[in-house]
């Protein structure tokens, strides 16, 4: 092709290239919108709560801040927070906790499209089932480093320890052992990993020492309840009461 013919073909190629460029920008925009989908809101907070967004940027959150799909929530020392999701599910996070909202899809008209995947990377939480879990419990999973927690219309607690649970109250007064501790206030949870699966009902406690060890039921006198202060778990305050290590006693949320 001569230089002249190449130049003559540019006007014909330009619209096609612009069309491809427009399509690429549309796909990138759609992807960004999916990642930036608002799936929840901070309702209660004491201390510093940070969100690491899916694009790697970080933001310090406050009461009424939006939670986006793909966010990783990080609570600092002495920070408790409570988050309400679009289907009315709620989670309360302890200090030193990292939770990834990997997926949160609630389709009001098409329950078959529901999908919730939350990852407990470290620390502890309490969770109460929302509409997704009530109508399609198979669509909700909480992943942890040692096991996956499936819900059955549930209010439960989960605490993952890795030599960082000193000071957490236990019936024995000793620090919780490393691994995953769970307790069920209502409903049931199914905890499973490569070692096996175990159903835990209301009032029961469980423990998983590692990803290859099966989940086991433990007696209440040695179980580890995941506790939260009333100022965060109660609906009677404005959600902004400041908490210190000794400012309010812990309680199990029921």
pLDDT tens sequence across 155-181: 999 999 999 998 888 888 889 999 999
Which run of H or of E encompasses 58?
Answer: strand 58-61
Return the ∠ at Cα 227 (arms to 225 and 229), rounded to 5°: 165
CA distances from 210 to 35, 194, 215, 216 (A): 32, 10, 9, 11
> CB-hemisphere CA count at 13 Å for 163?
0
pLDDT at position 220 is: 92
CA–CA distance, 11 with 15 (Å, rounded to integer): 7
Q: pLDDT higher for 20 or 74?
A: 74
In the predicted model, is pLDDT for residue 67 greater than 60?
A: yes
Closest CA to 140 of 165, 95, 106, 181: 106
Number of H helices and E strands in the chain, helices first, is 3, 17
In the predicted model, is pLDDT for residue 239 greater than 50?
A: no
Rounded to two decimals, the pTM is: 0.79
């Amino acid at each position: 092709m001569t230089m002249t013919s190449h130049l003559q073909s540019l006007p014909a190629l330009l619209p096609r290239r612009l069309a491809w460029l427009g399509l690429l920008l549309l796909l990138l925009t759609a992807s960004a919108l999916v990642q930036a989908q608002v799936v929840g809101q901070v309702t209660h907070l004491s201390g510093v709560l940070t969100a690491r967004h899916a694009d790697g940027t970080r933001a310090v959150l406050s009461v009424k801040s939006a939670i986006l799909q793909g966010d990783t929530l990080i609570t600092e020392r002495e920070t408790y927070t409570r988050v309400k999701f679009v289907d009315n599910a709620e989670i309360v996070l302890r200090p030193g906790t990292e939770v990834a909202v990997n997926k949160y899809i609630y389709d009001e008209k098409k329950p078959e499209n529901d999908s919730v995947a939350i990852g407990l990377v470290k620390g502890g939480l309490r969770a109460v089932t929302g509409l997704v879990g009530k109508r399609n419990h198979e669509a909700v999973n909480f992943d942890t480093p040692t096991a996956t927690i499936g819900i059955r219309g549930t209010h439960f607690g989960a605490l993952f320890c890795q030599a960082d649970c000193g000071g957490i109250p236990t019936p024995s007064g000793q620090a919780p052992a490393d691994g995953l501790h769970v307790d069920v206030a209502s409903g049931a949870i199914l905890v499973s990993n490569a070692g096996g699966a175990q159903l835990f009902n209301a009032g029961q406690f469980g423990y998983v020492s590692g990803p290859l060890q099966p989940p086991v039921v433990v007696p209440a006198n040695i179980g580890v309840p995941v506790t939260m202060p009333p100022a965060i778990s109660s609906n009677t305050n404005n959600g902004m009461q400041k908490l210190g290590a000794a400012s309010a006693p812990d309680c199990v949320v029921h």
